[in-house]
């Protein structure tokens, strides 16, 4: 584990590559090696970051939280996009089946306690899976929601882990333009009004002009699943 001072130097080096996401990813891999992983939802805008990962190194480890509640379209997209980009190290992270059987035997926990459902199917599995990593790359952007408006390209969490967000400052228009330039296949639900895609029971389409994440936990006082909160 790096010292505080080493971490400060690492953060400064990575921050200096804010305008070149592919170089940022290569530098992060050089720094952290096997202690680096990419976290991807294979959602509405995930293809761009994953294309940059494939450009940097198609063998970079990508973690996908297979919650058991995804849209079927997301599961198919995870398979097809990984093949399209040539990603060779995508790993599914599943919740503990015994914990699911104990705490959500009917699969309806999301309806009356969505925080507990996210903890069971996302937060706890990722916490266990990420223990071996010093740094994790995410596809979060400042413009996605008010809770992310102050996010930086490199964050150091209270638990010491580094979070790297190569697209933090990219706008939705810039992302769509770059996806089109690269010829990246969109998630099939985007055309049906889903600009942000999570688990099927808790994701709804949104109307024009609404917050991109407005369909996530619609009608609830909830905007994050918890995996990006220390």
What digits encode the pLDDT tens for the residues 74-130?
999 999 999 999 999 999 999 999 999 999 999 999 999 999 999 999 999 999 998
Query: Is 225 part of the annotated catalytic residue set?
Result: yes
Fold of 4-202: Rossmann fold (3.40.50)
**DSSP structure class, residue 184:** P
Catalytic residue among 117, 118, 202, 225: 225
Question: According to the model, what pLDDT value does residue 5 have?
Answer: 44
User: Is residue 222 packed enough to be buried (19+ CB in 10 Å), middle (13-18) or exposed (0-12)?
Assistant: middle
Specify whether the CB–CB gap between 182 and 173 falls below 8 A.
no
> Is the pTM value of this prediction over 0.85?
yes
The answer on pLDDT for 1 being more than 70 is no
SS3 of 28, please? helix
β partners of residue 159: none
Question: According to the model, what pLDDT value does residue 7 have?
Answer: 64
Q: pLDDT band at 145, cuts 50/70/90? A: low
Tokens of 137: 């790359």
> How do 162-164 and 154-156 pair as beta strands?
antiparallel
Q: pLDDT band at 144, cuts 50/70/90? A: low
């Amino acid at each position: 584990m790096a010292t505080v001072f080493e971490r400060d130097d690492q953060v400064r080096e990575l921050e200096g590559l804010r305008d070149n996401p592919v170089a940022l990813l290569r530098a992060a891999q050089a720094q952290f090696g096997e202690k680096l992983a990419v976290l991807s939802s294979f959602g509405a805008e995930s293809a761009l970051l994953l294309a940059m990962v494939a450009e940097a190194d198609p063998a970079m480890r990508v973690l996908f939280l297979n919650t058991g509640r995804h849209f079927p379209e997301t599961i198919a997209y995870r398979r097809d996009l990984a093949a399209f980009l040539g990603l060779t190290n995508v790993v599914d992270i599943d919740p503990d089946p015994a914990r699911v059987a104990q705490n959500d035997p009917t699969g309806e926990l999301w309806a009356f306690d969505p925080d507990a459902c996210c903890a069971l199917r996302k937060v706890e599995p990722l916490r266990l899976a990420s223990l071996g990593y010093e740094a994790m790359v995410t596809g979060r952007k400042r413009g996605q929601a008010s809770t992310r408006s102050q996010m930086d390209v490199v964050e150091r969490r209270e638990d010491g882990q580094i979070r790297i967000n190569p697209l933090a400052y990219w706008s939705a228009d810039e992302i769509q333009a770059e996806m089109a330039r690269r010829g990246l296949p969109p998630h099939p639900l985007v055309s049906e009004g889903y600009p942000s895609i999570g688990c099927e029971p808790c994701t709804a389409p949104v109307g024009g002009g609404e917050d991109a994440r407005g369909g996530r936990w619609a009608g609830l006082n909830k905007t994050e699943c918890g995996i990006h909160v220390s």
